[in-house]
Structure 1
């Protein structure tokens, strides 16, 4: 029985248009430029590679990109875009790779799709084991936006133009740090409903989890052009290296 909250398979049909509307397609150029620097032009593994929004421009810069995703639908979209990237279906919380990479990265808050602290720590551990001795782990996560909830619920307007209205409805479970979210996309006479669950993580908690698997924070930025991370930042780009010699 299909899981209606499974992100990739439910979102594949709208993902490219949605990320374009949200400005993420254009931003992929900036993302790839910074990731190329962290990879030193060598090899990279993307956790939750999806349709290759970031992996493809990164590979076009000469980086040997591989990827993992749990969605067959997303991997099919990737294979239509490029044959330069080796990608396989798998669980980013528990994976093993015989290869060691200069860079492992997880972007666009994909990490939050792991719904328990244990799964998130397992993902960080798997990522750390996949790094070479000088390797870098880069994580992009949104800062939890928990203002505006009334009785544990909130609806936000994400985008409006003359053809589209996109709303997001959230139900908050503070005990488990989870959100059950439903995207409602009204376009002409059609309505698309795309639900998903996430477990939000504050940057301090992410640092602690990284320390549990032998990684330490090296840098933190507010965006992909190395803007300063401040109390007003809506996301962070966190860079981790091995803790110790």
Structure 2
């Protein structure tokens, strides 16, 4: 099964097409406008920069964007799009940068590809250390909807159905480690793609607690990139953290 070490290599060949089908390209303007509000004319670091879906348009608005990704294939896609962004191959859980940024951000649920609590806390710590004094950490995460699941239970859910594509997600739940080990089955015309994945889901309250452990506190939480309210009906959240007050 894939984890944070192999996700990019598996998804790189189809990443643009897949993110477009998932609506992520359509919302990129809202994403970039949100992030620009924290680093306009300044600097930003993207954790899991991928092909630059967010980083490239953010840099076009005058933000000096840098990035980290552990996938060589993803970084090659980024390099084809622009030579204006400095990005390096590395582990988003354990990184060091001499640069200090106005914003560090991690979008599209990339944080959950760190499949242990220890790795997720390490990522938060590394991000906190990379922030300027007034800098912010922005994380986009899904809201787990796992109440019906028990350990080892398998589920199958349609992620997308249109006139050309059917994407199914088949998953096994490991509640002790908060892991979902899943496989996306993508049926398109006469082809079938199999895309394995392992994630560690995180409730927003737990994320707040982990952030507090590394000296960060919640500043804002929204239900989407357009700053819609976060509510009990929200399927995701965008959380903004700052350094804790002395």
Q: Is the pair's TM-score, using the shorter chain for normalization, greater than 0.5?
A: yes
Equivalent residue, structure 1, for 2:64:
64
Equivalent residue, structure 2, for 1:240:
241
Displacement of 1:12: 0.6
Check conservation: 1:221, 1:238, Cα contact below 8 A: yes
Equivalent residue, structure 2, for 1:119:
119
Residue 173, structure 1, aligned to residue 174, structure 2: yes
Check conservation: 2:8, 2:73, Cα contact below 8 A: yes
Equivalent residue, structure 2, for 1:198:
199
Q: Write out aligned runs for 1:35-184 (5 A).
A: 35-147=35-147, 149=149, 152-184=153-185
Check conservation: 2:40, 2:62, Cα contact below 8 A: no
Task: Give TM-score, length-normalised by structure 2.
Answer: 0.96
Report the 3-state secondary structure (helix = DSSP H, G, I; strand = E; otherwise coil) of the residue aligned with 2:25: helix
CA distance in 2 between counterparts of 1:115 and 1:82 reads 31
Equivalent residue, structure 2, for 1:224:
225
Displacement of 1:244: 2.0
Once the two structures are superposed, residues 19-69 of structure 1 have per-residue CA deviations (whole angstroms, 9 ceiling, x without a partner) of: 001110011111000100011331000000001111111111110000000
Check conservation: 2:168, 2:184, Cα contact below 8 A: yes
Q: Which consecutive aligned stretches of 4+ in structure 1 deviate over 6 angstroms post-superposition?
A: none
Displacement of 1:196: 0.8
Report the 3-state secondary structure (helix = DSSP H, G, I; strand = E; otherwise coil) of the residue aligned with 1:25: coil
CA distance in 2 between counterparts of 1:185 and 1:178 reads 22
Check conservation: 1:136, 1:239, Cα contact below 8 A: yes
> Which consecutive unaligned segments of at least 5 residues does structure 1 have?
none
Aligned pairs, number:
243
Alignment root-mean-square deviation, CA:
1.2
